[in-house]
Amino acid sequence: MLNVGFVGLGAMGWSMAGHLHRAGLLVAVANRSHDKAQRFAAEHAGVLALADAGELAGPCDVVISCVTADADVLGLAAVLAAKAKPGFVLVDTSTIASTSARKAAELLRAVGADFLDAPLSGGVEGARNGKLSVMVGGDAQTLERVRAALDTFAARITRMGEVGAGQNTKAVNQVLVAGIAQAVCEGLALGEALGLSADNLLPTLGAGAAANWFLDKRGATMLRSEFVPGFKLGLLHKDLKIVRELALAAGVNHDLIDLSLANYAALMAEGRADEDTSALIRLKRGR
Amino acid sequence: MLNVGFVGLGAMGWSMAGHLHRAGLLVAVANRSHDKAQRFAAEHAGVLALADAGELAGPCDVVISCVTADADVLGLAAVLAAKAKPGFVLVDTSTIASTSARKAAELLRAVGADFLDAPLSGGVEGARNGKLSVMVGGDAQTLERVRAALDTFAARITRMGEVGAGQNTKAVNQVLVAGIAQAVCEGLALGEALGLSADNLLPTLGAGAAANWFLDKRGATMLRSEFVPGFKLGLLHKDLKIVRELALAAGVNHDLIDLSLANYAALMAEGRADEDTSALIRLKRGR
Same domain, A186 and A127: no
State the pLDDT at residue B76. Answer: 98
Per-residue H/E/C for A70-139:
HHHHHHHHHHHHCCCCCCCEEEECCCCCHHHHHHHHHHHHCCCCEEEECCEECHHHHHHHCCEEEEEECC
Same domain, B154 and B174: no
How far is the C-alpha of B280 from the C-alpha of B182, rounded, in Å?
7
Residue type, B223: L
How far is the C-alpha of A139 from the C-alpha of B254, rounded, in Å?
45
The gap between the terminal CA atoms of chain B, to the nearest Å, is 58
Q: Tell me what percent of the residues of chain A surpass a pLDDT of 90.
A: 99
State the pLDDT at residue A183. Answer: 98
State the pLDDT at residue A287. Answer: 54
Run of H or E residues at B48: strand B48-49
Contacts of A144 (CB under 8 A, 6+ apart): none
Q: Cβ(A228)–Cβ(A11) under 8 Å?
A: no
For residue A242, the distance in angstroms to the closest alpha carbon of chain B comes to: 13
State the pLDDT at residue B83. Answer: 97
DSSP structural state of residue A135 = E
Q: Which CATH number does the domain housing residue A225 bear?
A: 1.10.1040.10
Same domain, A252 and A125: no
* B179 contacts on A by Cβ (under 8 Å): 179-180, 182-184, 186-187
pLDDT, one tens digit per residue, over A148-202 is 999 999 999 999 999 999 999 999 999 999 999 999 999 999 999 999 999 999 9
Residue type, B272: R
Q: pTM to 2 decimals? A: 0.97
Q: Cβ(B58)–Cβ(B48) under 8 Å?
A: no
Domain extent for B271:
168-284
| Residue in B169, B186, B257 closest to A196 by CB | B169
Task: Report the half-sphere exposure of B54 (CA within 13 A, side-chain side).
Answer: 9
Q: Which of B96, B129, B161 is the last residue of a domain?
A: B161
Q: What are the backbone angles phi and psi of residue A5, rounded to the nearest 5°?
A: -110, 155
Q: Which of B120, B141, B161 is the last residue of a domain?
A: B161
Task: Assess B99–A contact: CB distance below 8 Å, yes or no.
Answer: no
Run of H or E residues at A144: helix A140-151
Strands A120-121 and A132-137: antiparallel
State the pLDDT at residue A153. Answer: 98
Same domain, B155 and B206: no
Q: Is A170 annotated as catalytic?
A: yes
Same domain, A122 and A55: yes
Q: Cβ(A229)–Cβ(A275) under 8 Å?
A: yes
State the pLDDT at residue B287. Answer: 54
Residue pLDDT tens, chain B, 287 long = 899 999 999 999 999 999 999 999 999 999 999 999 999 999 999 999 999 999 999 999 999 999 999 999 999 999 999 999 999 999 999 999 999 999 999 999 999 999 999 999 999 999 999 999 999 999 999 999 999 999 999 999 999 999 999 999 999 999 999 999 999 999 999 999 999 999 999 999 999 999 999 999 999 999 999 999 999 999 999 999 999 999 999 999 999 999 999 999 999 999 999 999 999 999 999 85
Q: Which CATH number does the domain housing residue A70 bear?
A: 3.40.50.720
Same domain, A228 and A249: yes
How far is the C-alpha of B284 from the C-alpha of B287, rounded, in Å?
9
Same domain, A199 and A74: no
Q: How many CB pairs under 8 A join A and B?
A: 257
pLDDT, one tens digit per residue, over A106-141 is 999 999 999 999 999 999 999 999 999 999 999 999
Task: Assess A69–B contact: CB distance below 8 Å, yes or no.
Answer: no
Give the mutation candidate from B131, B150, B190 for the A interface (greatest A CB count, under 10 A): B190
Q: Which residue of B has its CA nearest to A160?
A: B200
State the pLDDT at residue B1. Answer: 87
Same domain, B172 and B136: no
Strand-pair partners of A65: A7, A92
Q: Which of B130, B161, B192 is the last residue of a domain?
A: B161
Task: Assess B248–A contact: CB distance below 8 Å, yes or no.
Answer: no
Q: What are the backbone angles phi and psi of residue B21, rounded to the nearest 5°?
A: -65, -45
Same domain, A108 and A190: no
Strands A120-121 and B114-117: unpaired
pLDDT, one tens digit per residue, over A208-227 is 999 999 999 999 999 999 99
How far is the C-alpha of A245 from the C-alpha of A247, rounded, in Å?
6
How far is the C-alpha of A227 from the C-alpha of A285, rounded, in Å?
15
Task: Assess A203–B contact: CB distance below 8 Å, yes or no.
Answer: yes
- Please indicate whether, in this complex, the C-beta atoms of A156 and B285 are within 8 angstroms of each other: no
Same domain, B117 and B238: no
| Residue in B172, B187, B197 closest to A187 by CB | B172
Given A170, A232, A238, A284, the catalytic residue:
A170
Residues of B with catalytic function? 170
Calculate mean pLDDT across residues A36-48.
98
CA A274 distance to own-chain centroid: 15
Mean confidence (pLDDT) of chain A: 97
Run of H or E residues at B155: strand B154-161
Task: Assess B257–A contact: CB distance below 8 Å, yes or no.
Answer: yes
Number of domains in chain B: 2
Same domain, A70 and A145: yes
Task: Report the half-sphere exposure of A272 (CA within 13 A, side-chain side).
Answer: 21
Calculate mean pLDDT across residues A55-62.
97
State the pLDDT at residue B286. Answer: 86
Does residue A51 register a pLDDT over 90? yes
Residue B133 neighbours by CB distance under 10 Å: 26
